[in-house]
Structure 1
Amino acid sequence: MRVLLTIWLIFVPANHNQNKDSVMKRHVVGLMIWLAVGSVSVADEAAAVTLKTLTDYVFTHHPARQAEASMDALAESRLALAGQLFAEPLSLSVNHFNDVIGSGDGLQEWESAIEMPIWLPGEKRQQQNLSRHLAAEVPYYQQRIRLDASAQVREHVWQVMLSAAKVRHAEVLQENSENLLKDVKSRVEGGDLADSEALLAQTHYLEMQSQLASAKLDLQQSLNQYQYLTGQQVLPDEIEESLPESTEIHRDHPLLAELEQQIARQRSEVANARYDNARHPSLSVGIKRERDEHADPYNNSIGVGVSFALNDARYQQPAIAAASRQLADLQIAQQQQLRQLEAALLAAMDRLNSLQQRQEMLKQQFDVSQQYVSMQQRSFDMGGIDLTTLLRSQEVTNTHRHQLLQLQIEIQQQIAQINQIAGRTL
């Protein structure tokens, strides 16, 4: 199958008369990556690629989803246990006694009994509560996986954007160096410039070609990683995100919500721990058959018995203490997770403000460098400066152009990162 790749990257400089908010709301960078693949069906062309569809794909194929079946099985096993009539499996005992090695009087005795463990008061209800909490963990677990899938999609999409920006920058440099080489050769042939200037222009052109080839290789690697993760060969039309209305970490954050549910489950584990090492009362029903040495018919009798533990509270304490320790660990983990998220969100907002301030300064530097390189170009055309001086001034302008373009992409990437930290899934 043959694959063709075409990239359009459009850079639109901002006007100084526009305010900062309006500049941020514009689509300053537009990236379209089309892959024309042979034998593409109409249904494939009609399928829209969005951030949500990409996240759905990554979420569906996430390796961590394999644990969902075991989580459901654990909840169902607890529920099935609570539905049993008896607290433990029934046990059957059969005993036989005779005096063949003793007095030898022919006495024989048979005993058989069934032991039926009985649920302790409240134990069955606690098993049902634990099953319910275990089953409730699955949706929160899935939401955390989707948040991780969103992080992977965001990372790879914006990595492709940054790589494409480098390619576009390298293309501009290569085009400029090619035009400059043609101009220098023409002037060398006319006797206006020395032959060494043509060699310098040729060296500069070859260097720009090398940079372009390297940038394209990086872009191809980014595209390969993107396709491997998402199963798609095109980027979504809309990849920019908006800042959340509230820049705070809420309790419904997927990471915090999952821990909250785990805490609720562990509380149920603590309540259930008192039954772990407890001995269940047991009801026994048995039959006893005996006869004497005269081989009279067996004398049959039925017996009923009850057994229960005495003072087993001390044996329950280790399990209760262990479950309580796990509960405390989860509560500590939730508080630590909240603090980490709040600190990360604060740092991300500070970085966004820093990028926006740097963007304003770069715009001014870019405008000044454009004016300067225009003056240097006129001086070079009139023979006032040599080619080396012109290349240095062009390098400064090109660097500012690329930095501004890259910065605009980084600002949008940082907004996506803020949404990720805030727990907003795609």
Structure 2
Amino acid sequence: MRNGVFLGLFFLTFCSLALRAETEFPPDYKLHADPALSLRDVVDAALSRSPDRLMIKSRQEIAIALKRKSSSFFSDSPEIAISHQNDSLGSNQGLREWEGSLNMPLWLPGEKSANRRKARMSQAEADAYKALMTWQVAGEVRQILWNIKLAEATVRENRKSLEMARSLDRNMKKQIAAGNLPGRDALLSRQETMSREMALITARSEYFHAGQIYQKYTGLDRIPADFTEQMVERETGENLPLINLADARVDYLQAEFREITSRWNSPPTLSLGVRRERGAYQDRNIDSVSLGLSFPLGGRVHAAPKRAAAAVALADAERQRELTRRSQSLQLHEAHHEYETCHAQLLLAEEHFSLAGENLRLGQKSYELGESDMRDFLRIREQYFDSSREIVTQKIKCQRAVARHNQVKGILP
């Protein structure tokens, strides 16, 4: 008996300490729902704060740079060379010579068009990367919002359970005072109430944590009043950002391989020069103009390692594309399976909740008539609470399954 009293006092002390933890976060914290705020608005807000926007800008700058290069008159930077020669430190007979030349690297046949294609594919890859980042941020926002919805529902269900426990505790005290119930039931009722209080604190903490994640990710302190979605059917493989980026990457590396194949290790160079010279013991200048064309020898041999490296990069990109398609196909299957499973479970949860409500009604009547004890009644009521939470969360999970289905299909809000 003494051990039982000690355990009861220990439990109540532990509950009191847990209740003090409520001050670690605002107990009245709530993200306000804004009817004017849409899911797309939240995605745009999160995208504006995403570090990936820096990568988007960098990829676009690469595409612009490649386009400028492909529009150039020369295949590489032209060079200006200036030289002067005299015999002042030698024979000192009055020899003077000045020479200047402009060296212009030339495009090989097909090389410029290959560079233009590479620039176009680079821009397409940058656009695909931007679309992918938007899609990924949309997925994160969807997940965060539904986590908030689940946490909010858990708080609501725990608050309802606590109110029922407190109501029972008040009635219990009246019945004990009237001598209709044994005094030991008061301790069980109080323990049950404090357990509900602890569960509510935990639920509020989870809701606060989910809200903080949302605020840090989006910079907003409001959520859309309604962000449920309708399932959108689309042909498999149509406009999927992951696959689009993989395709764009392969196209870019194919263009790069063709560009490397079309050029030599160093380009042929057209030289245009002017020369002024004065010979020894002469009093007049001799001006001349030169025109030259130089071709590298063995250029393809020296460029072979670059072509081989480009071929390896292209093969790896094609392999990654196939892996991406396989992974995307599995995700589509999982999304369909999650949606179908969720609705099957929801039907059972609704039936289970109906039975749990009837069982609670009969259990309470049995307890009031003295046909069962307090522990049996609390067990029945716990089953009712669990069933109530299950049906509420299951409805939310089914709505979340629709959002995930649309996300995997590449549907943006």
TM-score (norm 1): 0.83
Counterpart residue number, 2:223: 235
How far residue 394 of structure 1 moved from its aligned partner, in angstroms, is: 0.7
Over 3 Å counting, the alpha-carbon distance change for 1:353 and 1:285 in structure 2 is closer
Q: Deviations over 1:28-50 (max 9, x none)?
A: xxxxx637xxxxxxxxx7x7111
Decide whether the 8 Å contact of 1:5 with 1:34 is kept in 2: no
How far residue 304 of structure 1 moved from its aligned partner, in angstroms, is: 2.1
In 1, distance between residues paired with 2:202 and 2:216? 21
Counterpart residue number, 1:144: 132
Q: Find 2:256's aligned residue among 259, 265, 269.
A: 269
Q: Deviations over 1:211-237 (max 9, x none)?
A: 112211211221222223233333323
- Describe how 1:9-408 pairs up with structure 2 within 5 A: 34=32, 48-97=36-85, 109-246=97-234, 249-275=236-262, 277-408=264-395
How far residue 104 of structure 1 moved from its aligned partner, in angstroms, is: 6.8
Give the paired residue count: 388
How far residue 96 of structure 1 moved from its aligned partner, in angstroms, is: 4.5
In 2, distance between residues paired with 1:277 and 1:5? 71
How far residue 87 of structure 1 moved from its aligned partner, in angstroms, is: 2.6
In 1, distance between residues paired with 2:212 and 2:144? 10
In 1, distance between residues paired with 2:244 and 2:105? 39
Decide whether the 8 Å contact of 1:6 with 1:34 is kept in 2: no
How far residue 198 of structure 1 moved from its aligned partner, in angstroms, is: 1.4
Q: Deviations over 1:148-196 (max 9, x none)?
A: 1111111111111111111111112111111111111111111111111
Counterpart residue number, 1:414: 401
Over 3 Å counting, the alpha-carbon distance change for 1:186 and 1:128 in structure 2 is same
In 2, distance between residues paired with 1:190 and 1:290? 128
In 1, distance between residues paired with 2:258 and 2:347? 60
Q: Deviations over 1:116-171 (max 9, x none)?
A: 22222222222222222222333322211111111111111111111111111111
In 1, distance between residues paired with 2:168 and 2:269? 98
Q: Which amino acid in structure 1 is aligned with residue 253 of structure 2? A: Q
Over 3 Å counting, the alpha-carbon distance change for 1:306 and 1:163 in structure 2 is same
Unaligned runs of 5+ in 2: 1-25
Instruction: Tell me how large the CA RMSD over aligned residues is.
Output: 2.5
Q: Deviations over 1:248-298 (max 9, x none)?
A: 531421111122122222221111113554322222233344444434434
In 2, distance between residues paired with 1:113 and 1:214? 80
Over 3 Å counting, the alpha-carbon distance change for 1:362 and 1:103 in structure 2 is same
Over 3 Å counting, the alpha-carbon distance change for 1:415 and 1:362 in structure 2 is same
How far residue 393 of structure 1 moved from its aligned partner, in angstroms, is: 0.9
Identity over aligned pairs, percent: 24
In 1, distance between residues paired with 2:330 and 2:179? 65
- The structure, 1 or 2, with the larger RCO (C-alpha pairs under 8 Å, 6+ apart) is 2
Q: Which amino acid in structure 2 is aligned with residue 230 of structure 1? A: T
Over 3 Å counting, the alpha-carbon distance change for 1:297 and 1:416 in structure 2 is same
In 2, distance between residues paired with 1:98 and 1:57? 70
3-state DSSP of counterpart to 2:390:
helix
Which protein has the bigger helix share?
2
How far residue 103 of structure 1 moved from its aligned partner, in angstroms, is: 6.6
How far residue 348 of structure 1 moved from its aligned partner, in angstroms, is: 2.6
Decide whether the 8 Å contact of 1:287 with 1:301 is kept in 2: yes
Decide whether the 8 Å contact of 2:106 with 2:267 is kept in 1: yes
3-state DSSP of counterpart to 1:274:
helix
Over 3 Å counting, the alpha-carbon distance change for 1:121 and 1:372 in structure 2 is same
Q: Which amino acid in structure 1 is aligned with residue 312 of structure 2? A: R
Unaligned runs of 5+ in 1: 8-32, 36-44
In 1, distance between residues paired with 2:354 and 2:27? 37
